[in-house]
């Protein structure tokens, strides 16, 4: 007798993503917006053998790509002719998976965050990277490291639920200036505002926190609630007026800061857009292109997607729709997506299969 | 996990093992039913999890076309503190046995555990799972759980 016929399907089956190619304007208008774009694969590179590639980051000049992974190494890639080649391997910095890497705004330093609870700082000398120092203090895995646009501040976050803010001086000395414990769970990601000294963090506790310094004290000034599961990543828009968050709840939410007109200093962030129904599984990363304003996502259903904003929508109620979608961009989960800061449309993604891929996005196909 | 503590479930109900299972594939329209030989040792009891009714065979569902596997397991007793470890062991077993394209969901049968939401969330978080498996002590315990037993 086949007892398997009576299987109880509790597992959440991913919905098949539908590529929405057009958005009709409100009734009466004859315009049909077709913001269809195209994603072209330029190159696929096997970067971290037999291990996940967890993150990729472009250098500020856009000429180098740093990748890091489960093999505990960081690799720096540069273009030679038409292909991306490995320029450096930074292999001895960490004892466990390197989860994220971040370039300093000047491009001379690289920071790496690892499950070994440390953050390493590497200095670029000529064509190679030298180990400079290690930042210790977190009790367990460091999940993210990020440089402030000023170059003087660094933030890290960890499964120990805290966010640490570090200051760096002209002599390359790093000092922790603040430890903030606003989350009740594992903090997955931290990101700085593009122009202000403002930090945002995303957590396993389903919330996003916004931090500012007031009276020499860093603290959480706003908490963004709305996601129904872990928030994995964050990205500010080019002007820094909006924040995109992506989550295990398969949605991407856009938040906007609203200062009430009554003169009070209470800031609140409201969710002004909710992108749901596009992603079949956890959305691990979101990236907002500084040059074009396009929003890219990395998903556990192996697909890459690009969203564009409808230019005619009310800024207080933005409308985004999917402009491009490659369903099986990698053979496994996509962990990261990153727009090149100098070349419009150039994009990198990386996956659990150890690969990264370089793409070209054209907004008009 | 220490050996000195009193066993939580000293007299487990033992179920009849449903015979030898091999990895077979029956060609059906949509689903590919694989019968996994899941012999995982409950850390506290030297018997397979199936004999303890922790993993019920009927709750394994494989969808080959969608590259998805879903396993629902029932911990031996509702307050079992080992639920996460058992779930992790199942997940590791599947990660090691299945092709990379598969998405693996392991969770507790709804209504059978006091902390099922918390346990399920941890098991679903691949970053947490990856980090946990880099902990050599925990990995050793998981490997012990998964060691094959000739019974």
- Residue A112 to residue A99: CA distance in whole angstroms: 8
- From the list B60, B70, B100, the residue facing A331 with the nearest CB is B100
CA atoms within 13 A on the CB side of A192: 24
Residues paired with residue B92 on neighbouring β-strands, in sequence order: none
Q: B16 with B47: CB under 8 angstroms?
A: no
Q: d(Cα A165, Cα A155) in Å, to the nearest integer?
A: 5
Q: Three-state DSSP class for B22?
A: coil
Distance CA A324, CA A34 (A): 11
Q: Which of A169, A57, A60, A161 is nearest to A112 (CA)?
A: A57
Cα-Cα-Cα-Cα torsion B14, B16, B17, B19, nearest 10 degrees, comes to 170
Q: Does the pLDDT of residue B25 top 80, yes or no?
A: no
Distance CA B128, CA B105 (A): 14
Residue B145: band (very low, low, confident or very high) from pLDDT cuts 50, 70, 90: confident
Residues 6+ apart with CB under 8 A from A63: A78, A79, A342
Maximum Cα interatomic distance, chain B, rounded to a whole number of Å: 51
Residues 111-140 of B with CB under 8 A from A: 121, 124-128, 130-131, 134
CA distances from A136 to A43, A174, A253, A327, B49 (A): 37, 11, 33, 40, 41
Sign of the dihedral through C-alpha B72, B76, B81, B82: negative
For residue B46, the distance in angstroms to the closest alpha carbon of chain A comes to: 27
| The predicted structure's pLDDT at residue B144 | 83
Q: Which residue has the tokens 């053979």?
A: A331
Q: Which residues of B touch A281 (CB under 8 A)?
A: 103
Of A84, A129, A121, residue with least CA distance to A104: A121
Note whether B101 contacts A: Cβ–Cβ < 8 A: yes
- What the block records as the tokens of A320 is 């985004």
Inter-chain CB proximity A13 and B63 less than 8 Å: yes
Count of all residues that appear for chain A in the document: 365
User: What structural domains does chain A harbor?
Assistant: 38-362 (2.130.10.10)
Would you call B61 and A353 a contact, using CB atoms and an 8 Å cutoff? no
Query: Which tokens sit at A134?
Result: 């290690």
Residue B130 CB partners (closer than 8 Å, separation 6+): A52, A70, A97, A115
User: For position B86, what pLDDT does the model report?
Assistant: 85
Q: Which of A7, A229, A352 sits opposite B59 (nearest CB)?
A: A7
Beta-bridged to residue A46, according to DSSP, are: A355
pLDDT at residue B38 in the model: 45
Question: What 3-state DSSP class applies to A201?
Answer: strand
pLDDT value for B48 = 61
Cα Rg of chain B, angstroms? 15
Q: Which of A289, A279, A306, A320 is nearest to A364 (CA)?
A: A306
Q: Do A3 and B57 touch (CB under 8 A)?
A: yes
Asked if residue A47 lies in contact with residue A354, where contact means CB atoms within 8 angstroms, the answer is yes
Evaluate whether A103 touches A117 at the Cβ level (below 8 Å).
Answer: no
Q: Which of A287, A285, A304, A294 is CA-nearest to residue A345?
A: A294
- Cβ atoms of A361 and A326 within 8 Å: the answer is no
Query: Confidence class of residue B73 from pLDDT cuts 50, 70 and 90?
Result: confident
Nearest CA in chain A to B120: A11
* CA distances for B121 relative to A17, A71, A191, A245, B137, angstroms: 23, 26, 24, 19, 22
Name the strand (E) or helix (H) holding A110.
strand A109-114
Q: What pLDDT score does A345 carry? A: 94
Residue A321 structure tokens: 């729709």
> CATH number for the B55-145 domain, one of 2.60.40, 1.10.4160, 3.30.70, 3.30.300?
3.30.300
How far is residue A252's CA from residue A273's CA, in Å, rounded to a whole number?
8
**Helix ranges restricted to H, chain B:** 83-97, 116-124, 126-132, 136-146
Q: Which pLDDT band, with edges at 50, 70 and 90, does B27 fall under?
A: very low
Give the Cα separation of B114 and A199 in Å (integer). Answer: 36
How far is residue A18's CA from residue A62's CA, in Å, rounded to a whole number? 33
Nearby residues of A280 by Cβ (< 8 Å), 6 or more positions away: A14, A15, A16, A17, A250, A299, A300, A301, A303
Contact: B58, A13; criterion CB under 8 Å: no
Is B144 at the interface with chain A, CB within 8 A? no
A–B: how many Cβ contacts below 8 A?
A: 70
Report the half-sphere exposure of A10 (CA within 13 A, side-chain side): 15
Of A36-40, A323-327, B2-6, B145-149, the poorest mean pLDDT is in B2-6
Choose the mutation target among A3, A10, A186 for the interface with B, i.e. most B CBs under 10 Å. A10
Map out the domains of chain B as residue ranges. Answer: 55-145
Handedness of CA A175, A74, A202, B142 (dihedral sign): negative
A298–chain B nearest CA distance, Å: 15
Report CB contact under 8 Å: A188, B109.
no
B29-67 per-position pLDDT tens digit: 223 333 334 445 556 665 565 655 555 444 888 899 989
In the predicted model, residues of chain A with pLDDT beneath 70 are: 1-36, 259-267, 364-365
Specify the pLDDT at position A316: 87
Number of neighbours of residue A28 by Cβ within 10 angstroms: 5
Cβ <8 Å between A186 and B128: yes
Query: What is the reported pLDDT for A331?
Result: 92
Return the closest-CA partner of residue B132 out of B95, B77, B99: B95
pLDDT digits (tens, 9 = 90+) for B75-122: 876 655 578 888 898 899 899 999 999 999 999 988 888 888 999 999
Please, which residues have CB within 8 angstroms of residue B117's CB and are 6 or more apart in sequence? none
At residue A98, the 3 state secondary structure works out as strand
Residue of A1, A4, A54, A332 for testing the chain B interface, max B β-carbons within 10 Å: A4
**Pick from B100, B121, B131: CB nearest A332:** B100
Integer Cα distance of A206 and B117 in angstroms = 14
Q: Other CB atoms closer than 10 Å to residue A302's CB: what's the count?
A: 23
Q: Do B58 and A248 touch (CB under 8 A)?
A: no
């Amino acid at each position: 007798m086949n007892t398997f016929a009576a299987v109880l399907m509790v597992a959440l089956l991913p919905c098949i993503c539908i590529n929405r190619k057009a958005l009709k304007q409100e009734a009466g208008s004859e315009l049909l917006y077709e913001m269809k774009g195209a994603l072209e694969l330029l190159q696929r590179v096997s970067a971290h053998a037999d291990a996940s590639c967890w993150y990729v980051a472009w250098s500020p000049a856009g000429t180098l790509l740093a990748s890091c992974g489960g093999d505990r190494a960081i690799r720096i890639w540069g273009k030679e002719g038409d292909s991306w080649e490995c320029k450096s391997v930074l292999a001895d910095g960490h004892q466990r998976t390197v989860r994220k890497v971040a370039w300093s705004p000047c491009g001379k330093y690289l920071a790496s965050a690892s499950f070994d609870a440390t953050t390493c700082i590497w200095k670029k000398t000529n064509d190679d990277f030298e180990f400079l120092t290690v930042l210790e203090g977190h009790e367990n895995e460091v999940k993210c490291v990020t440089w402030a646009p000023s170059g003087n501040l660094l933030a890290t976050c960890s499964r120990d639920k805290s966010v640490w803010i570090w200051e760096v001086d002209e002599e390359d000395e790093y000092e922790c200036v603040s430890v903030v414990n606003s989350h009740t769970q594992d903090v997955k990601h931290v990101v700085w505002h593009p122009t202000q000294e403002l930090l945002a963090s995303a957590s396993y506790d389903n919330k996003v926190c916004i931090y500012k310094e007031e009276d020499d004290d860093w603290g959480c000034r706003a908490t963004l609630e709305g996601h129904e599961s872990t928030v994995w990543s964050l990205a500010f828009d080019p002007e820094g007026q909006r924040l995109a968050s992506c989550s295990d709840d398969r949605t991407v939410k856009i938040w906007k800061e609203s200062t009430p007109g009554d003169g009070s200093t209470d800031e609140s962030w409201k969710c002004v857009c909710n992108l749901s129904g596009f992603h079949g599984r956890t959305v691990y990363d979101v990236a907002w292109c500084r040059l074009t304003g396009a929003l890219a996502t990395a998903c556990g259903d192996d697909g890459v997607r690009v969203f564009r904003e409808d230019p005619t929508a009310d800024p207080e109620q933005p409308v985004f729709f999917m402009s491009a979608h490659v369903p099986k961009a990698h053979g496994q989960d996509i962990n990261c997506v990153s727009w090149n800061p100098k070349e419009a449309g150039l994009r990198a993604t990386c996956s659990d299969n150890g690969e990264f891929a370089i793409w070209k996005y054209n907004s008009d196909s | 996990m220490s050996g000195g503590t009193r066993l939580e479930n000293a007299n487990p109900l033992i179920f009849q093992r449903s015979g030898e299972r091999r990895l077979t594939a029956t060609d059906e329209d949509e689903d590919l039913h694989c019968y996994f030989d899941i012999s995982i040792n409950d850390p506290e009891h030297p018997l397979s999890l199936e004999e303890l009714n922790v993993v019920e065979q009927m709750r394994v569902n494989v969808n080959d076309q969608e590259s998805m596997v879903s396993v629902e397991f029932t911990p031996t007793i509702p307050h079992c503190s080992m639920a996460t470890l058992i779930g992790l062991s199942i997940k590791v077993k599947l990660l090691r046995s299945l092709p990379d394209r598969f998405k693996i969901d392991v969770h507790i049968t709804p209504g059978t555990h006091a902390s099922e939401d918390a346990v399920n969330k941890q098991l679903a978080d691949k970053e947490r799972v990856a980090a946990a498996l880099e902990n050599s002590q925990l990995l050793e315990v998981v490997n012990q759980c998964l060691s094959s037993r000739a019974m």
